[in-house]
Amino acid sequence: MDAGGGPFRTAEDVFRDFRGRRAGMIKALTTDVEKFYQQCDPEKENLCLYGLPTETWEVTLPAEEVPPELPEPALGINFARDGMEEKDWLALVAVHSDAWLLSVAFYFGARFGFDKESRRRLFNMINNLPTIYEVVTGTAKKQSKEKTSNSNSKNKSNSKTSRPAEPQAKVSKMPPKEFEDSGAEGEEDEEEHENTLCGACGDNYANDEFWICCDVCEKWFHGKCVKITPARAEHIKQYKCPSCSTSKRARV
């Protein structure tokens, strides 16, 4: 198999080669899948799927020279074709194709003496693309939809909680730092609060509901469960939950 491309002076040069080969292999496993399927005849010898820098693909025998000019892709992909469901076979070929593309990219990196920073930059550019497996199996589209959905949900949630933030922050009756932190710390706090349970009903924390903390036992409660509203909480200097209030009266 001809090395193609080169000489690769920068990580960007290798990435262009990677992207071209990747595009060719994706075509073989998606838009050209019928042609690819027919070429992978189990009656033939060991066959390999190659991606070319020109965004094309080729099914052929492995290189004869030893060692080869480039790392070789998975050998004998045609033998498994009729022994598996087509979608499973294509997914298997896709996984091996991803592994081959990475090996070729970092072969070039080693051959042309890339330093640590260049290798890191190359990996980051590659990692920003969906894998062939993700494209072939539809995982990439699913992840994109989920990301969009989560982003929309988060925006809606933030719009709900932004209005009561000011009065609750004044009396510190919401879980700590919920409205003070931003960025990564804010997201970590939000995840932590989702595991908080109401001391009265046992339900999880929800950031569109008013919560209040007992200053004695430090348990959190839905305002509705202990009959405390945000307006009333503003005038409470020290809140004691029903259990702590009862315990104090009993001791007296």
Distance in angstroms (rounded) separating the CA atoms of residues 89 and 18: 23
Check if the beta carbon of residue 98 is closer than 8 Å to that of residue 29: no
Structural domain contains residue 2: no
* DSSP type of residue 197: B
Is-contact 76 44, C-beta < 8 A? no
How many whole angstroms separate alpha carbon 175 and alpha carbon 163?
Answer: 16
How far is residue 121's CA from residue 86's CA, in Å, rounded to a whole number? Answer: 36
Predicted local confidence at residue 68, as pLDDT: 87
105 and 20, same domain (yes or no): yes
Q: What is the full per-residue pLDDT of the chain (252 aa) written as tens digits?
A: 555 555 678 999 999 999 999 999 999 999 999 999 999 999 999 999 999 999 999 999 998 888 888 999 999 999 999 999 999 999 999 999 999 999 999 999 999 999 999 999 999 999 999 999 999 998 876 666 666 556 555 555 554 444 444 334 334 445 544 444 445 555 555 555 556 777 777 677 666 788 899 898 888 888 888 889 888 888 888 888 887 876 554 444
Q: What is the DSSP-derived secondary structure letter of residue 30? A: T
pLDDT of residue 117: 96
- The dihedral through the CA atoms of 74, 76, 79, 81 has a sign that is positive
Structure token digits, residue 92: 């298997």
pTM score, two decimals?
A: 0.57
The answer to whether residues 131 and 217 belong to one domain is no
Tell me how far apart the alpha carbons of residues 19 and 23 are, in angstroms, rounded to a whole number. 6
Calculate helix-pair angle for 11-29, 86-111, nearest 10 degrees. 160
Distance of CA 243 to the CA centre of its chain: 44
The dihedrals phi and psi of 49, each to the nearest 5 degrees, come to -100, 120
Tokens of 239: 């809140």
Residues 53, 40: contact at Cβ < 8 Å?
Answer: no
Distance CA 132, CA 140 (A): 9
State how many domains the chain has. Answer: 2
- pLDDT value for 240: 87
- 234 lies in the same domain as 120: no
Distance, in Å, from the CA atom of 159 to the CA atom of 212, rounded to the nearest integer, reads 20
100, 128, 143 - which closes a domain: 143
Closest CA to 40 of 98, 6, 83: 83
**Do 208 and 138 sit in the same domain of this protein?**
no
**Structure confidence at residue 170 (pLDDT):** 34
Q: Please indicate, yes or no, whether residues 118 and 223 belong to a single structural domain of this protein.
A: no
Looking at the domain assignment, is residue 114 inside a domain?
A: yes
Pair (133, 218) in one structural domain = no
List Cα–Cα distances, 100 to 26, 80, 104, in angstroms.
13, 18, 6
Domain endpoint, select from 111, 143, 175: 143
φ/ψ bin of 138: left (φ > 0), alpha (ψ from -120 to 50), beta (otherwise): left
What residue numbers bound the domain in which 237 lies?
A: 195-251
- Tell whether the torsion through CA atoms of 181, 185, 188 and 192 is positive or negative: negative
Structural domain contains residue 149: no
Q: Any idea what the CATH number is for the domain that residue 217 is in?
A: 3.30.40.10
Angle, vertex CA 99, rays to CA 29 and CA 75, nearest 5: 70
